[in-house]
Amino acid sequence: MIVIRKTVIGLLGSFVLVWAQSALAAEPKSPQDVHMALRILASVYADMQSKLPNQLDRIPHENQEFHEGSAAMRDAMANEPADYKTKVLAALDQAVAASQAVSDTSASHDTVKVMAALEQLAASMHSLNELFPEAIRAEPGSVPAPVHGGPPPSQ
Amino acid sequence: MTRRGVLAGLMMLPAAFVGYRAPGASRPRPEVNLTISTDGDLLAFKPVELTCPTAALVHLTFIHTGKYISQDHDWVLTLPDEANAVDQAALRAGEAAGYVAPRGDKRVLAATRMCGKGEQVRIDFIAPAPGEYPFICTYPGHAAFMHGVLHVTAS
């Protein structure tokens, strides 16, 4: 009897979790635009990552691109319901602030600090991605960062 | 020979020259139109492979389809295995030179100017000997992401 009760509670818990996740990751009205916006941010993140360890002076430039790229997400959210839009834009603002922090930290030329700031940026981008269905996510790291100065991968 | 026979022979004369080429005369140069663009605001070319026959007059149109990020891109065709060296030469040339390899660099077979978002440019060049030729964007750090291959066929 106890086993059955535990199983039922476990199953109910799973359902609640799945429901909560699907409610959190709502389907946007323009999934292609959202996907492209996330890919742009992941691409800039990879470019920023590639500036470690020897090109920290280029990071403010990448930060500017991150700011510009965030406009793609703002456009993609244009026709979304206000509460959903507010939630996404809040997460986006956190990612933009984290990108700014990477840029500010790069002035110190302390690679360890910059790496820590980059991890914070990745975490905030992950939070942003979690607001969307898995099929349209583009997590930081999904665009591989090249080894700077090395030959293009196809050669 | 009758007069009718002579007339018929004269009428057939142009047909005898069809397909005839004087010794040493060259075949008319084939012309090829190629179009390549950036993948929107992503650091990528689209497509990443192009094909043309050797010795063709290539009219290549490069379109920067970016909308959000203010980053410049160019399209530079290099000799095999020289893409990385050309990329480094462009980096050394610096911002004042627009991050393009020095004029007259023998490793560069064809190149567009740097384009900003929304711009497009056309260049003409003669396709080199059959082989695989890499192309890259020489803006600093982009070649690691933005690269592809021009397949030059024998005919």
* Six token digits for residue A73: 């997400």
For domain B29-153, give the CATH number.
2.60.40.420
- Could you tell me if B36 and B46 are in contact, meaning their C-beta atoms sit under 8 angstroms apart? yes
Domain boundaries, chain B: 29-153
The mean pLDDT of chain A is: 85
pLDDT computed for residue A94 by the predictor? 98
Give the whole-angstrom CA distance, residue B119 versus residue B116.
Answer: 6
- Judged by phi (left if over 0) then psi (alpha if -120 to 50, else beta), residue B81 lies in left
In this prediction, residues B64-73 reach a mean pLDDT of: 95
Given an 8 Å threshold on Cβ–Cβ distance, is B145 in contact with A146? yes
Give the whole-angstrom CA distance, residue B115 versus residue B69.
Answer: 12
Considering CB atoms only, which of B41, B136, B140 is closest to A72? B41
ipTM: 0.75
Q: Which domains does chain A have, with CATH numbers?
A: 27-136 (1.20.120.290)
Q: Residue A7: is its pLDDT beyond 90?
A: no
Between B77 and B14, whose confidence is greater? B77
pLDDT computed for residue B23 by the predictor? 55
B102: number of Cβ within 10 Å: 12
Given an 8 Å threshold on Cβ–Cβ distance, is A150 in contact with B144? yes
Between A54 and B75, whose confidence is greater? B75
DSSP string computed for chain B = --HHHHHHHHHHHHHHHTT---TTPPPPPPEEEEEEEE-TTSS-EESSEEEEETT-EEEEEEE---SS----B--EEE-TT-HHHHHHHHHHHTGGGTS-PPTT-TTEEEEPPPB-TT-EEEEEEE--SSEEEEEE--STTTTTTSEEEEEEE--
| CB contacts, 8 Å: B88 with chain A | 149
Give the whole-angstrom CA distance, residue A5 versus residue B85.
Answer: 69
Closest CA to B38 of B13, B69, B7, B77: B69
Q: Residue A107: is its pLDDT beyond 50?
A: yes
Summarize pLDDT for B6-34 with one digit per residue, the tens.
Answer: 555 555 544 444 444 555 566 788 999 99
Residue B67 touches partner A, C-beta closer than 8 Å: yes
pLDDT computed for residue B5 by the predictor? 55
Summarize pLDDT for B91-131 with one digit per residue, the tens.
Answer: 999 888 888 888 889 999 999 999 999 999 999 999 999 99
pLDDT computed for residue B18 by the predictor? 43
Closest CA to B36 of B138, B135, B126: B135
pLDDT computed for residue B16 by the predictor? 44
pLDDT computed for residue A5 by the predictor? 66
Return the SS3 of A2.
helix
Q: Residue A147: is its pLDDT beyond 60?
A: no
Considering CB atoms only, which of A39, A50, A72 is closest to B144? A50
Lowest-confidence range among A23-27, A138-142, B59-63? A23-27
pLDDT computed for residue A85 by the predictor? 97
Q: What is the CA radius of gyration of chain A?
A: 19
Given an 8 Å threshold on Cβ–Cβ distance, is A71 in contact with B68? yes
In this prediction, residues A63-77 reach a mean pLDDT of: 97
